[in-house]
Chains A and B, each alone.
Chain A
Amino acid sequence: MHPTDATDGEEELSRRGAMLRAYLAGDRVVMVGPPGYRRELADLGVNAAVVECDAETRQVPSLGLPPGSQDAVFANDVLACIGDYRAAIAEWFGTLKVGGRLVIAVPHQFLFERKLFPPSRWETQHRRFYTTSLLLTEIEEALDPLSYRVRDLTEDDEDFDYSAPPDQSPTGSCDIIVVLERMARPPYADALLDERSGDRATGRFVRVPGPAASEPVVAIETTAGPPQRILVLKLDHRGDFIMGRPAMELLRREFPSSHLTLVCGPWNRADAEQLGLFNEVIGFAFFPEVASHVSDLAKEEERVILFARHMAGRSYDLAIDLRVDQDTRLLLTAVDATQRAGFGTAERFPFLDIALPFINPTVSGRAEQRLIMPDRFTAMAGRHEGFAIVNPDDLPGKTHGDRLIYGPYADFEAGDWTLEIIIEPLASDFDLTYDVCWDVGSNVIGAGILPVRRGVRPRIALHLEEALKGVEIRVSVGPSNRVRPYRFLGCRVGKRGAFPALHQQEMLVLLASLVAHRMRFPYQTVDTATRLPVS
Chain B
Amino acid sequence: MSAALVIAPVSNDPLRDWPLSHFEQLARLCVEQLEATVDCVGIRAQRVAVNQIVRRLPPDRVRNLCGTMPWSDTTELIRSASCVVANNSGIAHLAAGLGVPTVCVFGASHNPYEWMARGPAVITLHKRTGCAPCAFGQLAECPFDKRCLREIAPETVFEAVRRACARTDAPVQGSPVHV
Question: Are B139 and A140 in touch, CB under 8 angstroms?
Answer: no
Given contacts A216-B128, A371-B134, contact A201 B141 (CB under 8 A): yes
Contact between chains at B55 and A141 (CB < 8 Å): yes
Query: Do A86 and B143 contact each other (CB < 8 Å), given the known contacts A210-B151, A521-B120?
Result: no
Chain A residue numbers with a CB within 8 Å of B116 are 220
Contact of B135 among A215, A371, A373 (CB under 8 A): A371
- Say if the beta carbon of A503 comes within 8 Å of chain B: no
> Which of A107-127 touch B at CB < 8 Å?
none
Q: Is the interface of B mostly helix, strand, loop or mixed?
A: loop
Enumerate A178-236 residues with CB–CB distance to B below 8 Å: 193, 195-196, 199-202, 204-208, 210-211, 214-222, 224-225
How many A-B contacts if CB must be within 8 Å? 141
Contact B128 A219 (CB under 8 A): no
What separation, in Å, do the CA atoms of A371 and B141 have in the docked complex? Answer: 11
Query: In the bound complex, what is the Cα–Cα distance between A373 and B142 (angstroms)?
Result: 11
Cβ contacts B5-32/A at 8 Å (1 or 0 each)? 0000000001001011000000000000
B12 to chain A, nearest CB (A): 12
Contact of B169 among A143, A211, A224 (CB under 8 A): A224
Question: Is the CB–CB distance between A141 and B143 below 8 Å?
Answer: no
Please, how many angstroms separate the alpha-carbon atoms of A489 and B119 in the complex?
Answer: 35
B48 close to A (CB within 8 Å): yes
Give the interface residue-count category, chain A.
35 or more
A145 interface residue (CB < 8 Å to B): yes
Check B165 for interface membership: any CB of A closer than 8 A: no
Q: Establish whether residues B143 and A201, one from each chain, have CB atoms under 8 Å apart when the complex forms.
A: yes
Kindly provide the distance from the CB of B89 to the nearest chain A CB, expressed in whole angstroms: 14
Distance between Cα atoms of A435 and B163 in the complex (Å) = 48
Residues of chain B in range 118-160 having any CB-CB distance to chain A below 8 Å: 118-131, 133-136, 138-145, 147, 151-153, 156, 159-160
Interface pair A195/B145, CB less than 8 Å apart: no
A77 to B29, CA, bound (A): 33
Asked whether, in the complex, the Cβ of A216 is within 8 Å of the Cβ of B127, the reply is yes
1/0 per residue, CB under 8 A from B, across A451-480: the answer is: 000000100000000000000000000000
Q: Is the CB of B58 within 8 A of A87?
A: yes
**Bound: A138/B59 CA distance, A:** 9
B17-73, CB < 8 A from A: 17, 19-20, 47-49, 51-52, 54-60, 64
Q: Is A409 an interface residue (CB 8 A)?
A: no
Could you tell me the distance between the alpha carbons of A521 and B123 in the complex, rounded to whole angstroms?
12
Contact B59 A221 (CB under 8 A): no
Minimum Cβ distance to chain B for residue A521 (Å): 5
Beta-carbon contact of A528 and B159 below 8 Å: yes
A102 to B14, CA, bound (A): 35
A520: Cβ under 8 A from any B Cβ: yes
B125 & A217 in contact (Cβ 8 Å cutoff): yes
Query: Which residues of chain A are within 8 angstroms of B47 by Cβ–Cβ distance?
Result: 140
| Contact among B57, B119, B143 with A386 in the assembled complex (CB-CB below 8 Å) | B143
A142 within 8 A of B: yes
CA distance A141 to B54 in the complex (A): 7
Given the known interface contacts A85-B59, A195-B14, the answer about A205 and B126 at a Cβ–Cβ threshold of 8 Å is no
Contact of A84 with B160 at beta-carbon distance under 8 Å, contacts A220-B116, A222-B122 already known: no
Residues in B neighbouring A205, C-beta threshold 8 A: 143, 145
Q: State how many angstroms separate the Cβ of B62 from the closest Cβ of chain A.
A: 9
Which A residues touch B159, using CB under 8 A? 528
Docked CA distance A27–B159 (Å): 51
Report B27 CB to chain A, min CB distance, Å: 13
Complex alpha-carbon distance, A142 and B131, angstroms: 38
Query: Does the CB pair B118–A521 fall under 8 Å?
Result: yes
Q: Is B179 part of the binding interface, using a Cβ–Cβ cutoff of 8 Å?
A: yes
Given A141-B64, A528-B125, is A373 in contact with B120 using a C-beta cutoff of 8 Å?
no
A422 at the interface (CB under 8 A from B): yes
**A387 sits at the interface (CB 8 A):** yes
The answer to whether B174 has its CB under 8 Å from any CB of chain A is no
Q: Which residues of B contact A520 (CB under 8 A)?
A: 179
**Smallest beta-carbon distance B109→chain A, Å:** 11
Q: Could you say which residues of chain A place their CB within 8 Å of the CB of B127? A: 211, 215-218
Across the interface, do A208 and B144 meet the contact criterion of CB distance under 8 Å? yes
With contacts A195-B20, A217-B127 taken as known, whether A142 is within 8 angstroms of B55 at the C-beta atoms is yes
Complex Cα gap A86–B64 (Å)? 12
Q: Are B141 and A369 in touch, CB under 8 angstroms? A: no
Check B52–A528 contact: CB distance below 8 A: no
Q: Which residue of B lies closest to A223 (CB)?
A: B169
Does B179 contact A201, Cβ atoms closer than 8 Å?
no
Contacts of A218 in B (CB 8 A): 125-128
Interchain CB contact under 8 A, B59 and A141: yes
Q: A489 and B51: CB pair below 8 A?
A: no
- Decide: B145 and A219 in contact? CB cutoff 8 A: no
* Contact yes or no, A193 B52, CB < 8 A: yes
Within the complex, which residue of B51, B126, B130, B151 is in contact with A141, where a contact is CB–CB below 8 Å?
Answer: B51
Q: Is A370 an interface residue (CB 8 A)?
A: yes
Interface of chain A residues 362 through 383 with chain B (CB within 8 A) = 369-371, 373
Chain B residues near A67 (CB, 8 Å)? Answer: none
Complex interface residues of chain B between 95 and 131 (CB less than 8 A to chain A): 112-113, 116, 118-131
A201 partner, pick from B17, B52, B140, B170, beta carbons under 8 A: B140
Query: Which residues from chain A contact B49 at a C-beta distance below 8 Å?
Result: 195
Contacts of A199 in B (CB 8 A): 14, 138-140
A193 to B125 CA separation, bound complex (whole angstroms): 25
Most chain A CB within 10 A, of B112, B113, B140, is at B140
Cα distance A193–B49 in the bound complex, in angstroms: 8
Cβ-based interface call for A83 (8 A): yes
Tell me the chain A residues, 245-296 only, with Cβ under 8 Å from chain B.
none
- B residues with a Cβ closer than 8 A to A are 14, 17, 19-20, 47-49, 51-52, 54-60, 64, 112-113, 116, 118-131, 133-136, 138-145, 147, 151-153, 156, 159-160, 163, 169-170, 179
The 7 closest A-B pairs by CB, nearest first: A387-B143, A196-B14, A199-B139, A220-B124, A217-B127, A195-B20, A222-B122
**New A-B contacts (10) at CB < 8 Å, excluding given A220-B124, A222-B120:** A141-B55, A195-B19, A200-B139, A204-B143, A207-B147, A219-B123, A219-B124, A371-B131, A387-B144, A422-B130
Q: List 14 A-B contacts (CB under 8 A).
A: A83-B60, A140-B48, A141-B59, A145-B51, A195-B52, A200-B140, A201-B140, A204-B143, A217-B152, A220-B122, A220-B124, A222-B170, A370-B135, A386-B143
